[in-house]
Amino acid sequence: MTRRRSLAGGAAAAVVVLAAAAAAAAFLSLLDGAAALHLCTDRLFNDTQGRHSDGLPHLNQAEEATWMGLLPRRAGPRDELDWLALYRSITRGGGDVGGEPAGFLSPASLHDVRVDPYGANMYWQGQQTNLEYLLYLDPDRLTWTFRQQAKLPTVGEPYGGWEAPDGQLRGHFTGHYLSAAAHMWTSTHNDALREKMTKVVDILYSCQKKMNTGYLSAYPESMFDAYDELAEAWSPYYTIHKIMQGLLDQYTLAGNPKGLEIVVWMTDYFSTRVKKLIQEYSIQRHWEAINEETGGFNDVMYQLYAITKNQKHLTMAHLFDKPCFLGPLGLHDDDISGLHVNTHVPVIVGAQKRYEVVGDQLYKEIATFFFDVVNSSHTFATGGTSTMEHWHDPKRLVDEIKISSNEETCATYNLLKVSRNLFRWTKEGKYADHYERLLINGIMGNQRGKEPGVMIYFLPMGPGRSKSISGMPTSGLPPKNPGGWGNANATFWCCYGTGIESFSKLGDSIYFLEEGEIPGLYIIQYIPSTFDWKAAGLTVKQQAKPLSSTDSHFEVSIFISSKGDARPANVNVRIPSWTSVDGAIATLNGQKLNLTSAGDFLSVTKLWGDDTLSLKFPITLRTEPIKDDRPEYSSIQAVLFGPHLLAGLTHGNQTVKTSNDSNSGLTPGVWEVNATHAAAAVAGWVTPVSQSLNSQLVTLTQRDGDAQAAAAFVLSVSIADGALTMQESPVAGSDACVHATFRAYHSPSGASAIDAATGRLQGRDVALEPFDRPGMAVTDALSVGRPEPATRFNAVAGLDGLPGTVSLELSTRPGCFVAAPTTAYLAGAKAQVSCRKPTAAAAGEDDDDTAFRRAASFTQAAPLRLYHPLSFSATGTDRNFLLEPLHSLQDEFYTVYFNVLTK
């Protein structure tokens, strides 16, 4: 959402020329190509983001010059404007094109869907964390700048970040809040949330009434004056879209009539402004003006028209379609390189709404072609897209993972809308598969655990990256690229707005309805939930068995019960593309059903009563190559387990001194795996890590002094050189927790060295294995060594004689122990092997021996980190990797793509 540069676009109906591609080509041949081109980049900044290696823009000559001559230069007399006439002049043939198409699937109302806590699943937890944040946010602070703009008394203090009183996007998050709250209230019917969101609407209503022009914003009209003059103004229509969409959602989802009233009056104001711009200059000037980020303004106008049937609202929607972008897509020009992603994906969503509202088949084709272009050439293994918020050269993603500003989550939010709509239109499984992959890997990990209001902007895809430092260092462009985790009170990035929306509507794409004499239901996402299917008189409840890395099948149970007035109904259940029907089992009340193929649907029509549909889909590990068609990068692969993208916890052989550092290149040790003996099968170099091993995990602590107030330290593995060090006690979820956790087991048996009855670390021949380096244990030099054999320790009662402490004596060197430094107890100080002097040991009370005994005694603590249920071990060339789902990580450094060496 950084400010970007756009040049003049074309006419709102690229379609004028698109209907006759041959004629367009003939017309293009008459043009001076260089002089005729107008490019869809950002008019505000002349930078080189997204340009090709030759330094030149790379777009074909399918531009608005081919149809601009067909458009009126002025809209008519200055004192009037016929919106229907203008509409007809910018559309093919004028008037509606075929009317509203029929046969779309309808999403189940969120009023009827409840995400369930079954298995403490990530969907329910994500919803609850988001609900807590929405309830925390203060309506008075959210509307502070609106009241200030309307010259009404302000209450309390304004929020900071992008909502600060001097921010050019102030007010955008309030719009997102209204959308998120409307979806969340519909999903939960939380009374406290309804009270808060209603108060926000009431305040905005009073602000609009006070200004008495229809204008409503948190900043002055001068922002739009600058926009109309093609001067610097950071995306004012983007912000207005968010406010309008939030208010319209309050009307359509929460039933608040004020929401619609405010939006209609706002549209009157902005349509007057657009009319004035066209009349004073030309329609081409309007196309120039909208060549910056306008969000989904066209989309919200189509939604408004569907409610009001007001011709002005439909024409305003067309006027905010972006022809220099949609036109080439209509001609099947697939070069989107250089374009700002989240400027253009919402335009596609609006184009999809245009197809639904008007019935223009071309816009269905545009959306379908766009999805294919992005998904084939520009997406990461998450299913998401963008680097530094732009599309770059197709199938060159290795260059992009060297940059940490990957996958802006706003773009993920909008791309989900695209695939969702395409599924509703076509019922094709590939769109539901993409939605599943992108939701799991691109959305569900964007909260920092259970911390309300802590979310990310970028999701890095490169080796040695971390969500905690994503997007760093800053770009220098205003506003500087946000990085790391945000703050509940002082961030409010665009991705915060889409973030609270995403976690508010997790139930909106599970169930889809098909009208007909026999009602139909499509279940496309496996999310524990309950659906009240009113049209069929049924209750549908699904539960997914919690998945572990040792499972061979993903198991789902769908319970369908009658409410007493059931009638025959058709139920369709998605067979995911990541599975295989070979070995899959589907039963209805214990009776086996025939399955078709992966990527298709299992369809059952019957009079449902108390029925149980059970599904067992084979789930396996697989690799997927990065979208880069250069032969030298054919070995770069991502690892997935079903729909879950796995990331390896890594640092490798790079210059790293703290968790604040990140690898800027492709250092071999960070991402190379050894598959030379795997016979090309991923199971040859990736193996499951059982959850039972959590009982073998331990963290060892010490205090710098005797008092409880003394600083706490933990025994850790240095991320710089693998040595054992003493580090300050880390906060939960941090990368440091990984390096302060060890697996303690008896070597070579592998049995736990932690007594099940007492919970104590004890016994002979104990090996210590760093949490993130499976199979690689501590060596005599107190650093991480190669796989077994490793140094063995005798775990004995602490030499300091205090309860709950343990000392680690080298099995091969009696009297020699792992010890912290006895002087200069500083974070990062290396642990060492120290041996007791025989005389000191005999004396027992010697001062030197007292210090030694304290240094060699550790307090056994609960492990700071546990293995995720989906944990795997991968064999590396320089080190081994612990693989966990990307969505489960917080501050840990990780690698998504691996260089798989087979020879």
Task: Give pLDDT tens digits for 721-731.
Answer: 788 999 999 99
Q: Cα dist. 258→142, 206, 748 in Å?
A: 18, 10, 71
Confidence grade of residue 566 (pLDDT, cut at 50, 70, 90): confident
Instruction: Kindly state the tokens that stand for 144.
Output: 């502070």
Number of other residues whose CB lies within 10 A of the CB of residue 759: 13
Q: Are residues 179 and 287 in the same domain?
A: yes
State residue 710's pLDDT score.
62
Q: Are residues 782 and 638 in the same domain?
A: no
Contact criterion met (CB below 8 Å) for 892 and 874: no
Query: Tell me: the pLDDT tens digits for 622-640?
Result: 999 999 999 999 999 999 9
On whether residue 209 sits in a domain, the answer given is yes
Query: Tell me: the pLDDT tens digits for 76-127?
Result: 444 457 888 888 877 755 445 567 787 899 999 999 999 999 998 999 999 9
On whether residue 661 sits in a domain, the answer given is yes
Q: Tell me the C-alpha distance between 351 and 120, whole Å.
A: 38
Mean pLDDT, the chain, as a whole number?
86
Q: Are residues 659 and 775 in the same domain?
A: no
pTM of the model: 0.91
State residue 839's pLDDT score.
58
- For the chain, the straight-line distance linking the first and the last C-alpha, in angstroms and rounded, comes to 44
Number of domains in the chain: 4
- Cis, peptide link before residue 473, omega less than 30° from 0: yes
Query: Which secondary structure element, helix H or strand E, spans residue 168, and what is its range?
Result: none
Least confident range of 151-165, 260-274, 395-409, 811-825: 811-825
Q: Are residues 681 and 729 in the same domain?
A: no
Q: Of 618, 650, 668, at which residue does a domain stop?
A: 618
Least confident range of 144-153, 165-174, 677-686: 677-686
Instruction: Kindly state the tokens that stand for 579.
Output: 């599975």
On whether residue 485 sits in a domain, the answer given is no
Average pLDDT over residues 729-756: 94
Q: Tell which wins on pLDDT, 35 or 615.
A: 615
Q: Are residues 579 and 679 in the same domain?
A: no
Q: Of 586, 602, 618, at which residue does a domain stop?
A: 618
On whether residue 491 sits in a domain, the answer given is no
Confidence grade of residue 13 (pLDDT, cut at 50, 70, 90): very low
Query: Tell me: the pLDDT tens digits for 436-462?
Result: 999 999 999 999 999 999 999 999 998
3-state secondary structure of 158: coil
Q: Are residues 680 and 716 in the same domain?
A: no
On whether residue 345 sits in a domain, the answer given is no
Confidence grade of residue 720 (pLDDT, cut at 50, 70, 90): confident
State residue 666's pLDDT score.
67
On whether residue 419 sits in a domain, the answer given is no
Q: Of 599, 618, 637, at which residue does a domain stop?
A: 618
- ∠ CA 39-43-49, rounded to 5°: 75
Q: Are residues 756 and 611 in the same domain?
A: no
Q: Are residues 681 and 700 in the same domain?
A: no
The phi and psi torsions of 305 (rounded to 5 degrees) equal: -60, -40
State residue 46's pLDDT score.
41
- Cα atoms in the Cβ-side hemisphere of radius 13 Å centred on 145: 23
- Percent of the chain past pLDDT 70, that is, above it, reads 84
Average pLDDT over residues 588-613: 96
Average pLDDT over residues 857-861: 95
Q: Show the domain range for 237.
A: 125-320
State residue 651's pLDDT score.
76
On whether residue 789 sits in a domain, the answer given is yes
Average pLDDT over residues 346-371: 96
On whether residue 469 sits in a domain, the answer given is no
Q: Are residues 629 and 665 in the same domain?
A: yes
State residue 741's pLDDT score.
97
User: How far is residue 871 CA from its own chain's centroid?
Assistant: 21
